[in-house]
């Protein structure tokens, strides 16, 4: 009787500690993402030049864009990635030659060349417009591609 009570208490304590560890890790991951996005210091507008379809079944692909005004340091994401703890990498913009960048998105068929993009990382805002009409209202943190360190089963 006493032995089963002790085992039950130990099991309950182990479950409690495991749940606390998971909750703390989740909070650390969320905080690291918000810190990353805030430190990007992006505040710009861009125009979609073209669209690259990656997976037609999932509707994913890249918007190839060019900045029309504002601030965007192409080296800041590489620098921030060197300081990550919980993530292996985070990427919002993939820079290309000719001052172009790519953004990976789902629902890629909704977008067209000449759509406008606004990004403000301090406010975690990422929007896409077509002739003053909002096509996508999102957050920079939701538009990133990323991999956490403990997701070892995912390919790089």
- And the tokens for 101? 């960048």
> In Å, how far are 25, 46, 67, 122 from 118, measured between CA atoms?
32, 7, 10, 12
The residue ranges of every structural domain in the chain are: 35-148
Question: Who's near 127: CB < 8 A, 6+ residues apart?
Answer: 117, 118, 119, 134, 136, 137, 138
**Reported pTM:** 0.73
> In Å, how far are 1, 86, 126, 132, 141 from 30, measured between CA atoms?
44, 10, 18, 32, 10
Res 130: pLDDT: 94
Please state, in angstroms and rounded to a whole number, the distance separating the CA atoms of residues 61 and 64.
10
Res 156: pLDDT: 46
Residue 73: strand, helix, or coil = coil
From the CA atom positions of the chain, what is the Rg in Å? 21
Please state, in angstroms and rounded to a whole number, the distance separating the CA atoms of residues 147 and 87.
6
Residues of the chain with pLDDT under 70: 1, 16-28, 146-156
Please state, in angstroms and rounded to a whole number, the distance separating the CA atoms of residues 154 and 148.
9
Question: Who's near 82: CB < 8 A, 6+ residues apart?
Answer: none
């Amino acid at each position: 009787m006493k032995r089963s009570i002790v085992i039950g208490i130990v099991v309950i304590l182990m479950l409690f500690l495991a749940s606390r560890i998971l909750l703390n890790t989740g909070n650390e991951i969320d905080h690291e993402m918000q810190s990353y996005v805030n430190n990007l210091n992006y505040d710009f507008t861009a125009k979609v030049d073209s669209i690259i379809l990656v997976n037609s079944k999932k509707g994913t692909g890249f918007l190839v864009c060019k900045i029309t005004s504002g601030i965007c340091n192409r080296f800041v994401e590489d620098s921030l990635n060197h300081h990550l703890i919980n993530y292996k990498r985070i990427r919002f913009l993939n820079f290309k030659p000719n001052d172009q960048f790519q953004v990976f998105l789902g629902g890629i068929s909704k977008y067209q060349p000449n759509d406008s993009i606004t990004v403000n990382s301090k406010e975690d805002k990422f929007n896409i417009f077509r002739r003053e009409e909002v096509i996508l209202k999102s957050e920079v943190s939701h538009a990133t591609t990323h991999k956490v360190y403990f997701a070892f089963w995912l390919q790089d």
